[in-house]
Structure 1
Amino acid sequence: MGLGKLLHHHEEHADAGGTIDHPRAYEVLASIGFLGGRRAAFTRLAAAAGPRAGDRVLDVGCGTGYLSRVLAPVVTADGHVTGLDPSPAMIEYAARRAPANCTYVVGVGEDPPFPDGSFDLVVSSLAVHHMPVEARPEAVRQMFRVLRPGGRLLVAEFRPPANRLARHLVGALSGPAMRHDLRDLLGSLVPDAGFEVESEGELPGLLSYVRATRP
């Protein structure tokens, strides 16, 4: 049994979805997985999202709040970052470490409890693969709904190593949910939800991302 499976609740295979309910163990595993480069990888990811001072940001599948805490000083005290995650344990962990301009809410990506056009920027990192496959299209549509016109989207996911042995080791650690390619995972979900895709890219730390805007 992989360490990733031990962290998850009700995840049997890559399409089933599930939550991570052990935040401290997740933080340890994440540090190992990024080989000490987690901060640098997420700083570059945050820069790719293009946050601006005063932005209202939604972090879908925020987990322990790591990315939201990187974004918080960039949007300044005039902005705000809201984290959304289905795991109460992760939300509790994130809330205890929240900067003044961050709040955290228990909820699922396919049914976020926010009005239309509430945010300037929506980000989601290493989260879509945890959603049940049938929920993913609605989750992306909801990202579109809660963005204002002209709002920006950045979705980042794990990029499996090219080396076969490395892929096997990652699979043993993470379980089947992270054995995917970003293009296979998102497919046409982003444009089908109404977004205009601006770019796709790769970052150190085995991350890939797609960046888009709401017309």
Structure 2
Amino acid sequence: MSGLDFDEETSRRVEATYLTPDVVWQRKVVREALALRPGERVLDIGSGPGFLAVEMSDEVGPDGAVCGIDPAPSMLAIAADRSGHAVEYRQAGAERIPYRDGTFDAVVSTQVFEYLPDVPGALAEVRRVLRSGGRLVLVDTDWDSIVWRSPDDALTDRVLTAFEQHLADARLPRKLPAALVAAGFRDVRTSVVPMLNVGYSPATYSAGLLELVTAFVVGRNGITAAEAAAWAEGQRSLGADHFFSLNRYLFVATG
């Protein structure tokens, strides 16, 4: 897995997509699934730019606690600026969570587990830091679900195949129900969180994803910088005929 390099530039691109109405709505769906109560302790794995962590801190209130972990220093810096003292951040990944057993009432992770080479190990870590009866909410994408209209379907296929190189498992959601049960979680429930953009607008998830994909794929799968730029411009040129759809899947389980 090549992975995304979350330097300052990439982190800012990701932050911009988190401000789009599509991802704002996704965070609302995630918070509803978590159903946090005042005074609870919650861990955000892969806290990114910190939007969800800040929103959760309002829900748990001054008697609760929100902790965020992320392996990227650039992301942690952005999140800390956004959160102030409302959230505790630590540099860490899901494979080794720096908290004691049974610390949290709830754990949440969005768009993280598809990057992990050892999903069973990460789920074991989550279960360790989650109190008995605590709640886990995961969101990940199955990249086979993507529908992206393009003036050049053959180039789009090459681009999207190359983009999958930034993931450990581009089709993880279809395996997660069984993996959660194997890790000892109970009451596993699954729902779909669709992303749909009809008509091109810079203020959409697909426009933000377009920038990330274009930057990543150059030199992969034989794609040149000129081809990547042409692919991106082709998407923008569709205007009202732009069409993008992608399914993310939300899993709720009890520890």
TM-score normalised over the length of structure 2:
0.67
2:88 is matched with 103
**What is the match of residue 203 of structure 1?**
193
Report sequence identity in percent.
28
Q: Does 1:141 align with 2:124?
A: yes
User: Aligned equivalents of 1:63 and 1:33: distance in 2?
Assistant: 9
Following TM superposition, by how much is the alpha carbon of 1:193 offset from its aligned partner in structure 2, in angstroms? 1.2
- Looking at structure 2, the residues matched to 170 and 32 of structure 1 have their Cα atoms a distance apart, in angstroms, of 20
Instruction: Give secondary structure in 2 for the equivalent of 1:111.
Output: coil
What CA distance in whole angstroms lies between the structure 2 residues aligned with 1:114 and 1:78?
19
Cα displacement (A) at 1:169:
9.1
What are the Cα deviations for residues 124-163 of structure 1, in whole angstroms up to 9, with x where unaligned?
100011212xx21111001000011110001111243353
**Please, which moves more after superposition, 29-38 or 188-197?**
29-38
Change (3 A) 1:117 1:192: same
2:147 to 150, 163, 167: 163
**Distance across 1 between alignment mates of 2:159 and 2:61:** 36
Q: Is the 8 A contact 2:18 2:24 kept in 1?
A: no
CA separation of 1:211 and 1:20: change in aligned 2, threshold 3 A: farther
Which residue type is aligned with residue 41 of structure 1?
Q
Of the candidates 170, 179, 182, which is equivalent to residue 173 of structure 2?
A: 182
* Partner of residue 192 from structure 1, selected from 182, 185, 193: 182
Distance 1:99 1:77, change over 3 A: farther
- Amino acid of the residue matched to residue 212 of structure 1? A
Aligned counterpart for 2:136 among listed residues 144, 153, 158: 153
* One-letter amino acid of the counterpart of residue 57, structure 1: V
Bigger Rg, structure 1 or 2:
2
Instruction: Provide the C-alpha distance between the structure 1 equivalents of 2:162 and 2:39, rounded to a whole number of angstroms.
Output: 38
Q: Deviations over 1:25-46 (max 9, x none)?
A: 3443564588632212211111
Aligned partner of residue 96 in structure 1, secondary structure = helix
Q: Which moved more, 1:165-174 or 1:66-75?
A: 165-174
After TM superposition, the score normalised by the length of structure 1 is 0.79
How far apart are 1:113 and its partner, in Å?
A: 1.1
Structure holding more helix per residue? 2
Q: How does 1:104-143 map to 2 (within 5 A)?
A: 104-132=89-117, 135-143=118-126
Relative to structure 1, is the Cα distance of residues 33 and 99 closer, same or farther in structure 2, using a 3 angstrom cutoff? closer
Indicate how the Cα distance of structure 1 residues 78 and 56 shifts in structure 2: closer, same or farther if over 3 A, else same: same
Q: Which segments of 5 or more consecutive residues in structure 2 lack a partner in the other structure?
A: 151-155, 196-246
Matches within 5 A, 1:19-168: 20-22=5-7, 25-29=10-14, 31-32=16-17, 36-132=21-117, 135-160=118-143, 161-163=145-147, 165=149, 168=157
